[in-house]
Amino acid sequence: LCQRQLKAQQQRGPASQELTALKTENANAALLPEDGKEKAALREERTEHVRALQGQEEEEERLRDASRAGTARIAQDVNIQVEKGKDLELKEQFDALRREHMETLQELQRAHEQEKLLLAESHHRSQEALQETIQALNSQLKSFQERMKRVEESLLSTDYKKHIQEHGSPSPFWEQELESLHFVIEMKNEHIHGLDKKLLNLETVAERNLLLEEKVKTLQQENEDLQVRTQNHLVMARQLSEELLAARGALEKESQLRDQARREKEELLYRVLNGGDGSPFPIAAGEVPLIAT
């Protein structure tokens, strides 16, 4: 028991220890004769002074507790504000990345559409030029074949054969005509070779047009794939936005629960310090939730 009293005295402040000592002295003074009553009165006065000091110490202790609670509340509010700042910064970064992604995607789509349009126009022009050239060459070839047929069936050939049958040998006139005819035939043959080369070139152009058609089909497929990826990115962005809103709601709810727990703790501490005298718990006029519900 003596050890517990000594420990309790050590835990109390200097004023409490001095008050205990004065009580002991007063108890001893009660046993003294009348000449010690004056000293007892002085001790009583000193006891009252010590009690006042003890009350002051208790008031200072309550103020320190209130200060610590206020400091903890301020630190908690600062942490909540920091979390809100981080949340806002992440949302801004996400919005910036989404805008950048959409701008890049739109730019790629515009470039792709423009390239596809240019390829289609080039292919259309090449196809028309190729058809016109083929038609012109076919017309020239047909005309030449008709002329050759007319030459073979002409009167010149008939008269020449008749002259050979009658006279046995061609005259110089017919020899000159024959040489002229051979010269014309050689020229036409050269022209035919030139037309063959043009046809080969046109076949090369046709093959290139086929390659262009394949490229246009490939670009169309890539465009469709790009549109599908765009839709997937939009869906993902929408999901991330919903998750961000859900996380923010959970953070707000947690903050409200913390504020409620803090208020209940302060109210309980207030009632304990005031000894349950029934006085209402004071609420600061400027105390409002940091996160609006």
Give 249 or 83, the one with higher predicted confidence.
249
CA atoms in the 13 A half-sphere facing the CB of 195: 18
* pLDDT score, position 225: 87
In this prediction the pTM is: 0.33
pLDDT tens for each residue of 3-56: 444 444 444 455 555 556 655 655 555 544 555 677 777 877 777 777 777 777
Q: DSSP letters along 253-264, please?
A: HHHHHHHHHHHH
Cβ(252)–Cβ(291) below 8 Å: yes
The rounded percent of the chain whose pLDDT value lies above 90 is 2
Cβ(195)–Cβ(138) below 8 Å: no
Cβ(23)–Cβ(47) below 8 Å: yes
Backbone torsion region of residue 132, taken as left when φ is above 0, otherwise alpha when ψ lies between -120 and 50, otherwise beta: alpha
Instruction: Specify the amino acid at residue 199.
Output: L
pLDDT tens for each residue of 204-236: 888 888 888 888 888 888 888 888 888 888 888
